[in-house]
A and B are shown apart, each in its own frame.
Chain A
């Protein structure tokens, strides 16, 4: 609702409006930017990419005939030569993290990779490229260098991680910008990175609306990929690819120049998106989420070091259920953390009646509930709020300022809500100073809690119940980390198709 209002405000003022007061995305110090292009009509035929960590010196990779499988694998090897050293360079110093309530120590890298692509299409490109490379063999009929399947595993890891709400290892610039600013156009139009940036950061002397309209013309601003502009395909790319097929000596150079021209605006746009997001003050929990990303990176690097298998084609029933649980849990946690970190996000919950803010008018900090077997400290406070109170008595609440303390709504009378508190007050019979809100204090309570929900006990793959297809036929495929080349799988990409004349 607040974001809809922000869109209306943006439409009226001609400039994007903030949706947050802090940044919710970790901006890595040394990101790798990759802007890919793919040939239209094919499942995955890489055409070109600008890739690198230095915004002034991107590396251009070109596949002059995208239907040629040898050239495609040469592209993959060249991309691996850019990406794998970048990943390895993140594996420097480590830190010890207490695990299992301090009984054990976990080691993780201090750094992790952060790959930026222009849009969700770029994430899909990473996923498809990972899928097409990770099962390639380094021996047999069509051998590839060992770096190629390794790149496939890493790209799949990044694409999987991008599904996880709050993860920052693979970032789609449009999605990251759209989570922080509302434009005066629709979400459909926001998918176009140049137009989105035009709203957020319009060029000097122009409104966002005017700049966005200009950015929509593919002849002026090429699309940010992976799909190319059909007119470019027809007028520029098709003749140049045909010239390359004829063996014209200047064709590779002209192709590279044309593709660089298509890619450079998107390259610059992704870096501008990075700058905009890196300039926001980070929210309080951003570092913790980045820590989880570093954990995942550390774990997957170790998996590959140990000669682990590539990710399977399909999750088994058990692995799929576990993955769904992880995603749901991450989505809930991310929503909660954003609301706690950011009063503007929390305001949306207040509007929806899931949170309220008010002043403490009565407090009984030493109240003891002795109705049970032993007396327990259960202070009560009364909060007077201007927000409508539609919550039912018994609702569990939490205050962003006191995340360890739980509150239960006892009753609502008019504008007054009576809350009973537990936890987060120390071990004594009287609460520690400041742990119970005092009369006059302004507090916010919300129904968003990160109440500990233990992971459901999933069965072992060999115990998959019949309702879920029974145990997987191939136990290796049932292991989320397992997976093997399926015999008879055709090589990625059929032999090069001749390009029909005309």
Chain B
């Protein structure tokens, strides 16, 4: 990343410390790749939770302490006694697997990113270690490197590195919640790409990172772990393509005024910025709101408030059915017979007019058949 881009991103963020990417944020980034607001704010490491709170639309999701405790307890169980349970599961799932080698926990909080990354690279570039916990990965996102601190174990089986994800959602009668499995698969694909970049950066063969990930979940209603193999070939290919397509942050920054910032102020004796001014600054950075953002982005409630009166706020399917007309007011005007402002909307306007007539006719008519 060039100095000017780094400086511009630092200015966007202000003096606050940057927030670190994780696989969830990268997965979400590729889930809504056209959202410039998210791309720039995430690249700058802006604390979106604090920002959303400040502009009056706090995020409404959090995790229950019970879920956190259960997740930690399950993970501890899988990793207890030198990863005994995990070794047994992998050996049972991948025939001929020998995972008796040493395990290393790379999750050393003290060292800085560069040192930890170098250590991760040394460990995963060699072939002595069978299990590497908490590696630090690096991924190129939107033209710059971001560090990932995945909660993952890299497991070497027959010369290949496999991503092992430990999740606390259950596999019941051999089936798990498809949405949760899909989310876990995208996250695992992020890790596969991160591991491949790491191998390539160290001059090792990136293809030694397998696209078969191992998903470890509790079985049925208890706490016994079970393992499933996830084939990530599709997710890895999709993710790689989407990451390549992500508009470069430098281009997005070029469209913004030179003094653009979402700094809340108030630090180091500076006067706090009025929330209205922060919201106005945000409005210069176009968002692409869809209702799915509510579950994926800290800023979603703010974007939803901005999107009031648009058909996008009703959901992408509804917007499409309304012929892609962006405003609710325009939809209703067309339904009333107003001529389309934009000739490309002529067809949508005609369908809307007819739909409104049929709807009114059915609502006015009695529910009795004419026969």
CB-based contact A43/B291 at 8 Å: no
Q: Select the stretch in B80-88, B130-138, B206-214, B329-337 that faces chain A.
A: B329-337
A5-B335, A12-B329, A41-B69 known; A347+B291 contact, CB < 8 A: no
| Residues of chain A from 439 to 464 with CB closer than 8 A to chain B in the complex | 441-444
Count of chain A residues with Cβ under 8 Å from any Cβ of B?
Answer: 66
CB-based contact B224/A5 at 8 Å: no
A2-B358, A40-B66, A187-B291 known; A22+B367 contact, CB < 8 A: yes
Cα A351 to Cα B221 with chains together (Å): 48
- B61's nearest neighbour on chain A, judged by CB, is A230
CB-based contact B309/A4 at 8 Å: no
- A490's nearest neighbour on chain B, judged by CB, is B222
Q: Select the stretch in B33-41, B165-173, B250-258 that faces chain A.
A: B165-173
CB-based contact B292/A442 at 8 Å: no
CB-based contact B359/A347 at 8 Å: yes
B63: chain A residues at CB < 8 Å are 40, 230
| Residues of chain A from 17 to 50 with CB closer than 8 A to chain B in the complex | 18, 21-22, 39-44
CB-based contact B355/A313 at 8 Å: no
Residue B220 at the A interface, CB < 8 A? yes
A8-B328, A347-B359 known; A1+B65 contact, CB < 8 A: no
B173: chain A residues at CB < 8 Å are 131, 313-314
Residue B247 at the A interface, CB < 8 A? no
Cα A461 to Cα B362 with chains together (Å): 49
- Neighbour of A442 across the interface among B72, B321, B370, CB < 8 A: B370
Residue A493 at the B interface, CB < 8 A? yes
Cα A206 to Cα B299 with chains together (Å): 27
Give A115-151 as 1s and 0s: 1 = Cβ < 8 Å from B's Cβ atoms: 0000000000000100110000000000000000000
Q: Select the stretch in B96-104, B191-199, B312-320 that faces chain A.
A: B312-320
A350: chain B residues at CB < 8 Å are 358
A128-B172, A344-B362 known; A189+B291 contact, CB < 8 A: yes
- B77's nearest neighbour on chain A, judged by CB, is A497
- Neighbour of B223 across the interface among A238, A351, A494, CB < 8 A: A494
Residue A299 at the B interface, CB < 8 A? no
Cα A8 to Cα B329 with chains together (Å): 8
Cα A188 to Cα B61 with chains together (Å): 14
- B367's nearest neighbour on chain A, judged by CB, is A21
CB-based contact B73/A18 at 8 Å: no
CB-based contact B69/A346 at 8 Å: no
CB-based contact B354/A351 at 8 Å: yes
Cα A401 to Cα B369 with chains together (Å): 6
- B318's nearest neighbour on chain A, judged by CB, is A4
CB-based contact A5/B315 at 8 Å: no
CB-based contact A233/B66 at 8 Å: yes
CB-based contact B359/A344 at 8 Å: yes
Residue A316 at the B interface, CB < 8 A? no
CB-based contact B362/A228 at 8 Å: no
| Residues of chain B from 292 to 331 with CB closer than 8 A to chain A in the complex | 292, 294-295, 309, 311, 313-315, 317-318, 321-322, 328-329, 331
CB-based contact A12/B328 at 8 Å: yes
- Neighbour of B60 across the interface among A131, A216, A234, CB < 8 A: A216
A1-B321, A441-B370, A443-B371 known; A494+B224 contact, CB < 8 A: yes
| Residues of chain B from 325 to 371 with CB closer than 8 A to chain A in the complex | 328-329, 331-332, 335, 351-352, 354-356, 358-359, 361-363, 365, 367, 369-371
Cα A313 to Cα B325 with chains together (Å): 48
Residue A343 at the B interface, CB < 8 A? yes
B370: chain A residues at CB < 8 Å are 401, 441-444
Residue B68 at the A interface, CB < 8 A? yes
- Neighbour of A347 across the interface among B62, B64, B358, CB < 8 A: B358
Cα A314 to Cα B352 with chains together (Å): 46
B358: chain A residues at CB < 8 Å are 2, 347, 350-351
Cα A490 to Cα B170 with chains together (Å): 15
B18: chain A residues at CB < 8 Å are none
CB-based contact A344/B363 at 8 Å: yes
B367: chain A residues at CB < 8 Å are 21-22, 281, 341-343
Q: Which of A186, A437, A494 has the most CB of B within 10 A?
A: A186
Residue A499 at the B interface, CB < 8 A? yes
A41-B68, A344-B359 known; A437+B222 contact, CB < 8 A: no
CB-based contact A4/B64 at 8 Å: no
- Neighbour of B362 across the interface among A21, A217, A313, CB < 8 A: A21
A230-B62, A314-B173 known; A492+B221 contact, CB < 8 A: yes
CB-based contact B64/A40 at 8 Å: yes
Residue A402 at the B interface, CB < 8 A? yes
- Neighbour of A131 across the interface among B69, B172, B174, B331, CB < 8 A: B172
CB-based contact A188/B315 at 8 Å: yes
Cα A314 to Cα B220 with chains together (Å): 14
Residue A102 at the B interface, CB < 8 A? no
Give B49-85 as 1s and 0s: 1 = Cβ < 8 Å from A's Cβ atoms: 0000000000011111111111111000000000000
CB-based contact B64/A233 at 8 Å: yes
CB-based contact B172/A8 at 8 Å: no
Distance (whole angstroms) from the CB of B277 to the closest CB of chain A: 24
CB-based contact B314/A218 at 8 Å: no
Residue A207 at the B interface, CB < 8 A? no
Residue B218 at the A interface, CB < 8 A? yes
Distance (whole angstroms) from the CB of A5 to the closest CB of chain B: 5
A497: chain B residues at CB < 8 Å are 73, 223
Residue A333 at the B interface, CB < 8 A? no
- Neighbour of A42 across the interface among B65, B70, B315, CB < 8 A: B70
- Neighbour of B67 across the interface among A40, A184, A189, A218, CB < 8 A: A40
Residue A202 at the B interface, CB < 8 A? no
CB-based contact A187/B65 at 8 Å: no
A473: chain B residues at CB < 8 Å are none
A314: chain B residues at CB < 8 Å are 173-174
- A187's nearest neighbour on chain B, judged by CB, is B315
B309: chain A residues at CB < 8 Å are 11
Residue A500 at the B interface, CB < 8 A? yes
Cα A500 to Cα B65 with chains together (Å): 11
Cα A237 to Cα B66 with chains together (Å): 10
CB-based contact A44/B221 at 8 Å: yes
Cα A189 to Cα B67 with chains together (Å): 23
A500: chain B residues at CB < 8 Å are 69, 72-73
Cα A242 to Cα B295 with chains together (Å): 30
A231-B62, A281-B367, A441-B371 known; A5+B172 contact, CB < 8 A: no
Cα A71 to Cα B318 with chains together (Å): 46
- Neighbour of A43 across the interface among B66, B220, B311, B335, CB < 8 A: B220
Chain A interfacial positions (CB closer than 8 Å to B)? 1-2, 4-9, 11-12, 18, 21-22, 39-44, 128, 131-132, 184-189, 216-218, 228, 230-231, 233-234, 237-238, 281, 313-314, 341-344, 346-347, 350-351, 399-402, 437, 441-444, 489-490, 492-494, 497, 499-500
* Beyond A7-B318, A233-B64, 12 additional pairs, beta carbon < 8 A: A8-B311, A186-B314, A186-B318, A233-B65, A313-B173, A342-B367, A346-B362, A347-B359, A401-B370, A492-B220, A497-B73, A500-B72
A-B contact pairs, 16 of them (CB 8 A): A5-B359, A11-B309, A12-B332, A21-B362, A21-B363, A21-B367, A39-B66, A40-B64, A40-B67, A216-B60, A234-B64, A343-B361, A441-B370, A441-B371, A443-B371, A494-B224
Chain B interfacial positions (CB closer than 8 Å to A)? 60-73, 168, 170, 172-174, 218, 220-224, 291-292, 294-295, 309, 311, 313-315, 317-318, 321-322, 328-329, 331-332, 335, 351-352, 354-356, 358-359, 361-363, 365, 367, 369-371
